[in-house]
């Protein structure tokens, strides 16, 4: 695995002229073969923190939450950073500095409130802030800190976020750290409700499911049999609503009560794309040529 967080430094004198919202061109290195997923419409964000690109997000302005985030995995070190939540200035002001900015004490600029989720949306709601790109999958403190932006999180039930979904993130971390020999490209996204969208505070859309997939073209071929289906691609879908039907992800009735209904189902990339096609009514391709 590469030793450092893969990122792209932006020279300081060009900072004011760089548009980080609306075009993935400056951050194509976070996609396998520089090829963003196809089939989903939204607002591209090249996620910039301290003048460095760290990952990419396809954002939904109407939902005030992301469709997906794409990033390069690096073996994590150190402790999880303290959550310092940030926002994307260019969603509110296209000519603004493209660096994500921390929420400061006091009232939030109304243009920011209108353009994206803010901390008040999540406070006293029944949802946690669920990372699509988790800090666990990055090596340096700066890379890990960059994931704490509300444009990278969705409303996620606590018992999903702290239960089966967290276990999935840890499993992916251990698998890639042990057996992926080159770059590992990860895309994590959401599946909306088919009808009757759910919202927090009538502002931020809640997903019915989360999904994740990785592409590791170069891997150790002496992997154990139990991981034969985990390379070069792997995918999973997790429940975010215990009352959802079981066609996509069945419920393990023997799970601990608090985690019951938040199951994660591992599957092939083909199966994931089939479920995405069914829900979005269009062909969705996560990786170029399925990471062939």
Specify the pLDDT at position 292.
Answer: 86
Specify the pLDDT at position 14.
Answer: 42
Specify the pLDDT at position 19.
Answer: 75
Specify the pLDDT at position 8.
Answer: 59
Give tens-digit pLDDT for 59-109: 999 999 999 999 999 998 878 888 899 999 999 999 999 999 999 999 999
**CA–CA separation, 233 vs 251, rounded Å?**
24
Quick one: which of 198, 111, 128, 114 has its CA closest to 165? 128
CB distance 215 to 36 below 8 Å: no
Return all residues near 238 (Cβ < 8 A) that are at least 6 apart: 160, 164, 165, 168, 209, 210, 211, 212, 249, 262, 263, 264, 265
How many other C-beta atoms can be found within 10 angstroms of the C-beta atom of residue 290?
16
Long-range contacts of 239-248 (CB under 8 A, 24+ apart): 239/160, 239/164, 239/208, 239/209, 239/263, 239/264, 240/130, 240/156, 240/157, 240/160, 240/206, 240/207, 240/208, 240/209, 240/210, 241/157, 241/198, 241/208, 242/157, 244/208, 244/209, 248/191, 248/209, 248/275
Which H/E stretch holds residue 278?
A: helix 269-280
Phi-psi domain of 185 (left: phi exceeds 0; alpha: psi -120 through 50; beta: other):
beta
Quick one: which of 46, 23, 206 has its CA closest to 129? 206
Average pLDDT, the chain: 93
Torsion of the alpha carbons at 291, 132, 175 and 267, rounded to the nearest 10: -60
Q: Tokens standing for 70?
A: 């794409």
Question: Which residue ranges in the chain fall short of pLDDT 70?
Answer: 1-18
Alpha-carbon separation of residue 159 from 70, 124, 137, 155, 163 (angstroms): 24, 16, 20, 12, 5
pTM of the predicted protein model: 0.94
Q: How far from chain centre, in Å, is Cα 103?
A: 21
Specify the pLDDT at position 9.
Answer: 59
Return all residues near 102 (Cβ < 8 A) that are at least 6 apart: 84, 85, 86
Specify the pLDDT at position 17.
Answer: 46
């Amino acid at each position: 695995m590469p030793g450092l967080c893969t990122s792209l430094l932006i020279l300081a004198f060009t900072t004011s002229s760089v548009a980080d919202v609306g075009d993935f061109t400056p951050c194509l290195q976070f996609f396998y073969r520089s090829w963003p997923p196809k089939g989903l419409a939204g607002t591209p964000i090249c996620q910039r923190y301290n003048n460095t690109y760290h990952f990419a997000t396809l954002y939904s302005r109407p939902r005030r939450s992301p469709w997906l985030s794409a990033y390069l995995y690096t073996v994590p070190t150190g402790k999880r950073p303290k959550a310092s939540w940030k926002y994307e200035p260019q969603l509110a002001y296209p000519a603004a500095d493209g660096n994500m900015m921390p929420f400061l004490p006091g009232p939030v600029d109304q243009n920011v409130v209108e353009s994206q989720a803010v901390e008040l949306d999540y406070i006293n709601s029944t949802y946690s802030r669920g990372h699509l790109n988790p800090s666990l999958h990055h090596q340096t403190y700066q890379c890990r800190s960059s994931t704490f932006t509300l444009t990278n999180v969705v409303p996620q039930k606590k018992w999903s976020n702290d239960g089966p979904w967290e276990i999935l993130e840890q499993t992916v971390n251990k698998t890639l750290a042990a057996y992926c020999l080159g770059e590992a490209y990860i895309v994590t996204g959401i599946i909306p409700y088919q009808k009757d969208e759910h919202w927090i505070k009538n502002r931020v859309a809640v997903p019915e499911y989360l999904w994740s997939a990785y592409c590791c073209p170069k891997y150790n071929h002496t992997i154990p049999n139990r991981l034969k289906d985990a390379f070069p691609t792997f995918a999973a879908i997790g429940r975010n609503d215990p009352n959802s039907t079981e066609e996509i992800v069945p419920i393990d009735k023997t799970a601990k009560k608090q985690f019951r209904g938040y199951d994660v189902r591992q599957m092939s990339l083909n199966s994931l794309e089939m479920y995405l096609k069914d829900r979005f009514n269009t062909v969705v391709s996560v990786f170029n040529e399925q990471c062939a």
